[in-house]
Amino acid sequence: MENRIASSGPQRDTESLLPALDATALQALRELAEATDPELFEEVLQTYLQDAEHHLAALHQAADSGDLSGMKKLGHTLKGSSAQVGAYQVSTLAEELEVLANTGSANGAQDLIEQIEMAFGRTRIAVQHQLNGAMQ
């Protein structure tokens, strides 16, 4: 974690060290769907994409208006929901944003939000790939 914060920049090691969508988490979700509701797998991933997009838009607004409390809350929420579906790149960066906002400084927040946006883009592609596979 410390190394990742120290090497700030658009190409940090978050991307290489963490999966955009973790295979183990996906498998657990698939097994849960098989045991309860076959549509759950698709429903959870679709819901995650919709909610995360909404949170990202709100994050940009919070950053533009210097709303540290809003950034902290949204970072926290994005961290939890992303971790639950195995989107660990997004989750880790969101946690960094939460920690940053908690220090009372917005320095570097825009950079972090851009990185979250990029990580989410990779996650979205991975989710779409999974959903296309699930529908075939």
Partner 1 sequence: MNILIADDEATLRLVMAATLKKLGHEVTKVATGLQAWQALQQDYFPVLVTDWTMPEMDGMHLTQMLRATTPHDLYTYVVMVTAHGSREDYLNGIRAGVDAFLVKPFDEALLEAQLFIGERIAGLQNHTKRLESIMTVCSYCKRVRSEDDRWVGMEKYLDTTFQTKPSHTVCASCFTTKVKPEMERLGINGDHIQVR
User: Does 30 interact with partner 1 (rule: CB under 8 A)?
Assistant: no
- Site map (CB under 8 A) of partner 1, residues 85-104, x = contact: xx--------x---------
**Angstrom distance (rounded) from CA 134 to CA 83:** 21
Residue in 80, 103, 108, 121 binding partner 1, rule: CB under 8 A: 80
User: Does 25 interact with partner 1 (rule: CB under 8 A)?
Assistant: yes
User: Does 43 interact with partner 1 (rule: CB under 8 A)?
Assistant: yes
Q: Give the nearer residue to partner 1 in terms of CB position, either 7 or 53.
A: 53
Concatenated DSSP letters of the chain: -HHHHHT-STT-THHHHS-SS-HHHHHHHHHHHHHS-TTHHHHHHHHHHHHHHHHHHHHHHHHHTT-HHHHHHHHHHHHHHHHHHT-HHHHHHHHHHHHHHHTT--TTHHHHHHHHHHHHHHHHHHHHHHHHHHH-
Residue in 4, 15, 19, 44 binding partner 1, rule: CB under 8 A: 44
| Residues contacting partner 1: total by CB under 8 A | 25
Binding site for partner 1 (CB under 8 A): 25, 28-29, 32-33, 35-37, 40, 43-44, 47-48, 51, 73, 76-77, 79-81, 83-86, 95
